[in-house]
Amino acid sequence: QTHYGPLWVGLLQVLEAVKVSPLIEKVSDHKDFKKLLRTRTNVLVLYTKSATSGDSHLKLLSDVAQTVKGQGTIAWVNCGDSEGRKLCKKVKVDTSSKREGAELMHYNDNLFHDLTFTYFSSLQSMVAFLKDPSGPPLWEENPEAKDVVHIETEKDFRKMLKKEERPVLMMFYAPWCGVCKRMQPIFQQAATETKGKYILAGMNVHPAEFDGLRQEYNVKGYPTFCYYEKGKFLYHYENYGASAKEIADWMKNPLPPQPKTPEVPWSETDSGVFHLTDESFDSFLEEHPAVLIMFYAPWCGHCKKMKPEYDEAAEMLNKGTNSPGVVAALDATVHKAVADRFKLSGFPTVKYFVNGEEKYTLPSLRSKDKIIEFLHNPQAPPPPEQSWEDKPSHVSHLGSEDFREALKKKKHALVMFYAPWCPHCKNAVPHFTTAAELFKEDRKIVYAAVDCTKGQSHELCKQEGVEGYPTFNHYNYGKFVDKYNGDRGEAGFIGFMRSLRGRDQEKVVKKKEEL
């Protein structure tokens, strides 16, 4: 049971009598009240001491009811009349003890709802709450964020840039973004520490109405930080792991992001490797009966790691008169015609050709010794291990296209963000799969997994605050709750979900008793 009477302080006081909106349901009979809670989800109930003590609240709620029509129900109980008094007594509401003579309660699925949203001071915040009761509070409603300048409209944003003399650091964010949630308290602290000297501002630009603004400032992901002086955009701030002090120090001496170290091309003069092109590829295969080719991308970390081994193998193989084969390489980002022909899905990809025909793809050929050993005795590689996603299990494998919709339907989701090559991930997979099997009958629970190396999922993982593999996040109806840092064995994964379900049951019993 959660009481919200004190949260109405500061709302507009209305002197004249308020005409109650027909969208607000007046309830006084206990049976009608129980029916309302049984037949509707997401019900906000205002209890008032008398017919007039709730005037200011009813005015605001009339606007709220209009905005959330079809998504939530607003009800009013007057505890001052005889029937209403009985109802208030039965549900244990005592408005006479409240300073404003009014109390507000929220019910979800006939039970009091656990709320993390505790700030109601505006139409906007109440509408946001009723549209998503389990969602996070609006950032601007958090008292700890009072030193952050919260911008709501593009007009206000332009106005601030035009008038503000002090430097501005703007955080463009989305309410659901995991990295944003992690950075907001740090940004808040930096705003407090630099108050008066600089402006640290926040703006939710996820709605479609801000498409133009996002394009203007190259907002391709969340959060994006933009630095302005005298209304002019100068730089992006890209230190997403910064502390409040680091943000404050950067504001004292703002510098553009450091350019990334340019890729060093694979030197053809210092290497014994034959470097192929779209034009030379086929003729080279015709001239050499046995060829091992490494298809690579200059930015690929695994390719960089493999290059010195490949160079050494080439020194021994490409210059010998009795060599069993030659070693070559092709930059797939430049010579795309050949790369497209072989439908490469990742780098490096090593393929073995005999008499111009592709014979094997060799995923485990990474070291000098293995390369030389293979060319002296070419053997078919073992069949590829079946991917986790292809193995039958009760783990839901999600991607960027279905991640949010799937999680919205589950009360509790434990999501494992992983990379197939990661050893710690491989160790956790069987335990995570066993836990999913145990809870397969529970419709409110899901154990899900996201392969961060696949398609657009890399961007999704970045948005969800994934900085290493595996990362485990707990979600409630699609909203990020916290990271799971417990044991990565069966006992840990199962125990975590059992504790959540146990708490759910305790609340159900308690609330039924109260009702």
pLDDT digits (tens, 9 = 90+) for 373-407: 999 999 998 877 788 998 999 999 999 889 999 99
**Digit-coded pLDDT (tens) for 315-334:** 888 876 688 999 999 998 88
| Whole-number pLDDT of residue 9 | 36
- pLDDT over 90 at 6, yes or no: no
User: Is residue 8 over pLDDT 70?
Assistant: no
Domains in the chain: ranges and CATH: 25-131 (3.40.30.10), 139-252 (3.40.30.10), 276-376 (3.40.30.10), 388-511 (3.40.30.10)
Q: Can you tell me the mean pLDDT for 283-310?
A: 91
Q: What's the pLDDT band for 514 if we cut at 50, 70, 90?
A: low
Distance (Å, whole) CA 7 – CA 111: 21
Q: 3 falls in which pLDDT band (50, 70, 90)?
A: very low
The catalytic residue positions are 177, 180, 300, 303
- Do 272 and 308 contact (CB within 8 A), yes or no? no
Q: Which of 72-76, 152-156, 264-268, 289-293 has the lowest mean pLDDT?
A: 264-268
DSSP E strands: which ranges in 287-379? 290-296, 326-331, 349-354, 357-361
β-sheet bridge partners, residue 312: none
Edge-to-edge strand order for the sheet containing 290-296? 274-276, 326-331, 290-296, 349-354, 357-361
Q: How confident is the model at residue 301 (pLDDT cuts 50, 70, 90)?
A: confident
State the DSSP code for 330. E
Give per-residue pLDDT as tens, 47-88: 898 888 777 778 888 888 888 888 888 999 999 888 899 999
| Placement of tokens 């408005």 in the chain | 95
Cα(35)–Cα(245) distance, integer angstroms:
54
The whole-number pLDDT of residue 7 equals 36
Q: Is 202 in contact with 211 (CB distance < 8 Å)?
A: no
Place of tokens 């090559």: 421
How high is the mean pLDDT of the chain? 85
User: Which tens digit of pLDDT belongs to each residue from 199-247?
Assistant: 999 999 988 889 999 999 989 888 999 999 999 999 999 887 788 999 9
**φ, ψ for residue 171 (rounded to 5)?**
-100, 105
Query: To the nearest whole percent, how much of the chain has pLDDT over 70?
Result: 88
Greater confidence (21 vs 444) lies with 444
Residues 414 and 416: their CA atoms lie apart, in Å, by 7
pLDDT for 457 equals: 86
Q: Nearest 5°: phi and psi at 15?
A: -85, -40
Q: Residue 134 — pLDDT band, cuts 50, 70, 90?
A: low
Question: Among the listed ranges 248-252, 255-259, 300-304, 336-340, which one has the minimum average pLDDT value?
Answer: 255-259
pLDDT exceeds 70 at position 11: no
Q: pLDDT at residue 302 above 70? A: yes
* Per-residue pLDDT band at 279 (split at 50, 70, 90): very high
Instruction: Give the per-residue pLDDT at 512.
Output: 66
Q: What is the pTM of this model?
A: 0.42
Give per-residue pLDDT as tens, 180-205: 888 999 999 999 999 999 999 999 99
Cis amide bond preceding 420, omega within 30: no
Predicted confidence band of residue 121 (pLDDT cuts 50, 70, 90): low
Which run of H or of E encompasses 264? Answer: none
